[in-house]
Structure 1
Amino acid sequence: MPLDYWRNIEGAYPYQTAKTIEDDSEHNPLNLLSLEKELIAIRRHLHQYPELSKEEFETTDFIAKCLGEKGIPIRPTSLKTGVFADIAGESEGPAIALRADIDALPIEEKTGLPYASKKKGIMHACGHDFHTAALLGAAFLLKENQDSLKGKVRLLFQPAEESGAGAAKVIADGQLDGIEAVIGLHNKPDIPVGAVGLKTGPLMAAVDRFKVAIQGKGAHAALPHNGFDPIVGASQLIVALQTIVSRNVNPLKSAIVTVAKIEGGSTWNVIPDTAVIEGTVRTFDSEVREQVKQRFLSVAEQISSAFSLKANVKWISGPPPLCNDTAITEIAKAAAHKAQLQVISPDPSTAGEDFAYYLEHIPGSFAFFGTGGDHDWHHPAFTIDETAIIKASYFLYESARRLLG
């Protein structure tokens, strides 16, 4: 008997869809409409009580409570935040993982929603509340059909994605031990609800950060010959760094070098001792990533030397390129078709995502999930269409089932 899978909740949304999904006879009937209401309530609770990276204590307790109420056992962890759990079937099989991130951003919310953040200056402006609710929904569906699972599903409610350190700590904590494949997703406002972006190869960029302190010798602005001007040196360096992409990186590949901050001086008539520039490098290829770094260090040294200055470069490596596995992505596409989602090939994003650390250890796939919206990630008016939550839950559930075989 078909389920009214895409039905709106009591007219709460501005449009309706009429697609249905057939129950698989070998599994329990899925009461998705009831689950949808539960997940929206969960998401709204999370949205009202966001927490920053490494501070997700209330969120951790809430997730653990939600899982506990469904009889899903929590795994031990040495991490202070984050929740990890296993759902094991009665039959032997592989062990796979589903992942959601749980942290928020230091942004003052300006959505005007009745369930807006109650914490001043903190907001779920990247949709991690959506990810968490969707994974909880998938967990509930898997638990309902636990007897039919052929293997084990590990749930990774990961902390500290925004700080770029969470995934690495989850791996160090042993939560990926014994896991053979992993699936994750991220909401995408520019993809409509009912569509999912899946592609093999690079999907999101490696993220590196730099800070260059250019040391000179201060002097009176009227007597520049008595000093070595770091302002002039920093200006030349900013221009020279742009040639790395235009003249060193293969035009058939891509890279971004952005200087986003410059500091130097304290008044109009004094040449300072030091000027500082900061910015980011984004790449999709590990070789290009290393090439850009080495060229950056060389340019910084040589430009500063030409002006009798010294450049002290601090290079902060972030997540590597996120590269989806071909076989796992094909399984995810099959799951998306089962969930009656439109599968599209998304453009890669130059944003970073620490899910990439998991993919350095095991094969997996990361999806861009359509949520519709007028504002992109990290905007104070960012929000998601909540009708996408149940779709994401079913996609994760079906992906897990298919990975288990």
Structure 2
Amino acid sequence: MSFVRDLSVSAASAGFVATLVGFTSSVALVFQAAQAFGASEAVIASWMWALGLGMGLATAIPSLILRKPVMIAWSTPGAAVLASAGLGFDLAQATGAFMLSALMIVLAGFTGWFERVMNRIPMAIAAGLLAGVLVNFGMAAFSAAQAAPLLVLAMLATYLLSKRWLSRYAVPLTLLVAVAVAAVQGGIAWSEVAWDWAVPVWTTPRFTWQAAVSVALPLFVVTMASQNMPGVAVIRATGYQMPISRIISMTGLATLVLAPFGGYALNLAAITAAICMGPEAHPDPKRRYAAAVINGLLYVLIGLFGAAVAGLLIAFPKELVAAIAGLALLSTIGGGLVAALQDEAHREPALITFLVTASGVTLAGIGSAFWGVVAGSVALFVQQYGRTRTATRT
């Protein structure tokens, strides 16, 4: 089986780190979103079942078929929107809104309009967007030393020494040392782990125009602008060619099926995709899909075991998660900056894209990734429009 041949320690480690980072960085928001609609503990567990299985299967199966790292995640900004916009709506109305948002995502994929828009964005701006999305994770790796200096310094030393002599295994070795140091310090909360199966709970959807306007539309906008757009930027910046429209349609269809169980929004991943698509996963880009498959399988386990795996991942100190994410993304951040700044004609627009995205500014409820692309594109238009025709006439 080619997957077994292509699987490596570095790929498995990248898949695990991606799961660890993706889950622990935003699971609290998902819980808050569910609670905003009055979800019970059983319903919240059902949300984890739906999201875990949805992300896992939508990641692992296409990755195996395409032999490329197709990375799917839940919509983190979508969860933030739901946590605030959900007040005043019940679960039935929310479920109807999730399904309407999913239908709009399917339409965006089937018509191909989203991919056509992304195809018009220059690579330098896409690379600036990628670096801007990831840079805060890189800085968080070092700022975590303020709260846990011994843990982070041990991780940094392990990473640097491994990069010198065992470059391919730098991240897995760093993770092993981090877990060992955290365990010795008593920083791993084993009490959070409870071995319980997750049971799906059906919620019959109810469609109202109020929920469509207040929940479905904002959820669709932030998912496309703040998740799918950076997700495509990661794919392009790491050199992969994928059927973007079909993948977008797949995430919409998966959301449509899983919405009654709590699968509120699935989309292209950005942060975790950078981990599995970067050189730390494997030196050979053709074998990095194995990291995505491992990531998908781990998400399926999260869905099946629900509270158990959730507790296991949450048990790790937040400083460990921040540091391992930042260190695992260093190469990708560096590559993004190089690609963004190497072309002098696109350098300033790419830099503006990077800075606006990294700023974290949110306008009209839409995150900085979207506004970074807008700012960079406007700068490029102002600087470049008409220059070619002027040069031709002269």
Q: TM-score range by the shorter chain?
A: under 0.3
In terms of fraction of residues, the more strand-rich structure is 1
Bigger Rg, which one: 1
TM-score, with structure 1 as normaliser = 0.20
- Does 1 or 2 have the higher relative contact order (CA < 8 Å, sep 6+)? 2
